[in-house]
Amino acid sequence: MDLPRICWVMLTHAVLLSVFSRPVTVTAGDIVHGDDSAPKKPGCENDFVLVKIQTWIDGIEDSEFVGVGARFGTTIVSKEKNANQTHLTLADPRDCCSRPKNKLAGDIVMVHRGNCKFTTKANVAQAAGASAVLIVNNQKELYKMVCDPDETDLNIHIPAVMLPQDAGASLEKMLMNSSSVSVQLYSPRRPLVDIAEVFLWLMAVGTILCASFWSAWSAREAAIEQDKLLKDASDELLNVKGGGASGVVNINTTSAVLFVLIASCFLVILYKLMSFWFVELLVVLFCIGGVEGLQTCLVALLSRWFKRTGESFIKIPFFGAVSYLTLAVSPFCIGFAVVWAVFRNASIAWIGQDILGIALIMTVLQIVHVPNLKVGTVLLSCAFLYDIFWVFVSKKLFKESVMIVVARGDRSGEDGIPMLLKIPRMFDPWGGYSIIGFGDILLPGLLIAFSLRYDWLAKKNLRAGYFLWEMLAYGLGLLITYLALNLMDGHGQPALLYIVPFTLGTFLSLGKKRGDLKILWTRGEPERVCTHMQLESSEDLNAEN
């Protein structure tokens, strides 16, 4: 393997170390504060829902903000047509801990958090005649407003909504600068399943499917080429063991463990250094990997029709021998990545990101191989623990889920890091994207690609092999991930928590049942009989006779 390709593989490994799950992102920020210590009780039993606050300034529609409904108070209507447009007033005093000095007859009152309980503010506003209360948080996040365990004064009949600090500042500025501000509160329901999740599932499964066939085809071509060389080789060459496909990197158990350890370090660096400029650096790295991936895929595809151009090489300093076909497609790949980087905030930029990401994943699965089931088990087991730790356990150490924060890019001022596939949620009134991290495709893909290489070398048909069952296991594991995501009310789920037991468990159990486990665990490929050696042995026996 030439130096540039080795460097690129190392870069790709660094880029793909972020193995994160799919959170649902809301414009207003995450909802924080666990309420396990404040269970539902009469008068305080609402479900927490996101609330849209649409504003009008002097009768002209203006900005829209997002808040979260309180555990107490009346429920908020779900349909926009049923929501009333109501005048907004700023409380005086601002904390609304005592009776307001201004009239609130039927108005929605905006108050500041602090100095008294949430329920006290709501009761005071209700007694003054307000139709709803908007409580502005003293932080940028949304906060779940619950009742204290010993509270009894919960006869609240107006809606209460928490707003993030920046939304409150914007509304207060509107009130100071305008003669009349009106708002409309409603909480549209999310669909149980969005069509985007179906397409994302097909995209992930399709990527692994194509990459596996590409990897298996290359391995079979390499095996056929090796057999030809052995058939025509001299006696000295017969004793040389073939090194496998050209340009392939085989992972061992040590590198599998190191991969996950380095991944943890890389994730912490992302978490600590996450900023606008750091995300810009990641975009550059993603573009470099995407260009190489897209170029490799296009060359492999076009070489079927332009074989002569693909086999003609020119020597370029540092890059070594480069085919004329590679030179021909490189400008297009570079231009594609540059256009995506420049316009990546456009509404359709996700298409370019997905094309670059899929090409990158397929190229890595073509270059990086799991040589046997032992290495695959170590790699996926470590990744399984890694995913659980950084999604769930990290909350205990960092007060928030490190992986989800990094995936969303909460501290970068952007929509998150680019190393993921995403599709806009088409029928979700809250918008956003359904996303999946590269690692949730790449790591299981390494094992699935290995299964197809083994099937082809062992000349197993689809049903008798392992690939079909591995693909079904992956698809089912990913499907259960999305089901769990919806059941958990959109909270990010570690996909490998569900995918690894399905894929690895299926492979191990089938291998044991069929008696192939020892070969799969150690050699990773069936024993091949050298026909040339058999022919020589037959000739020697005939000569003796």
Q: Say if CB 504 and CB 377 are below 8 A apart.
A: yes
**Token reading at 409:** 């890019």
N-to-C CA span, the chain? 48
Catalytic pick among 30, 107, 194, 387: 387
Give which of 341, 345, 307 is closest to 323, Cα–Cα: 307
**Token reading at 402:** 């490190």
What are phi and psi for residue 69, nearest 5 degrees? -70, 150
What are phi and psi for residue 488, nearest 5 degrees? -90, 15
The one-letter amino acid code at 382 reads: C
- Is 440 an annotated catalytic residue? yes
Place of tokens 């150490």: 397
- The gap from C-alpha 100 to its chain's centroid, in whole angstroms, comes to 48
As a whole number of angstroms, the longest Cα–Cα distance in the chain is 118
Q: How many other C-beta atoms can be found within 10 angstroms of the C-beta atom of residue 126? A: 20
The one-letter amino acid code at 415 reads: D
Catalytic pick among 30, 410, 428, 440: 440
Burial 482-504 (b: 16+ CB within 10 A, else e): bebbbeeebbbbbbbbbbbebbb
What are phi and psi for residue 233, nearest 5 degrees? -80, 165
- Is 540 an annotated catalytic residue? no
Catalytic residues: 387, 440
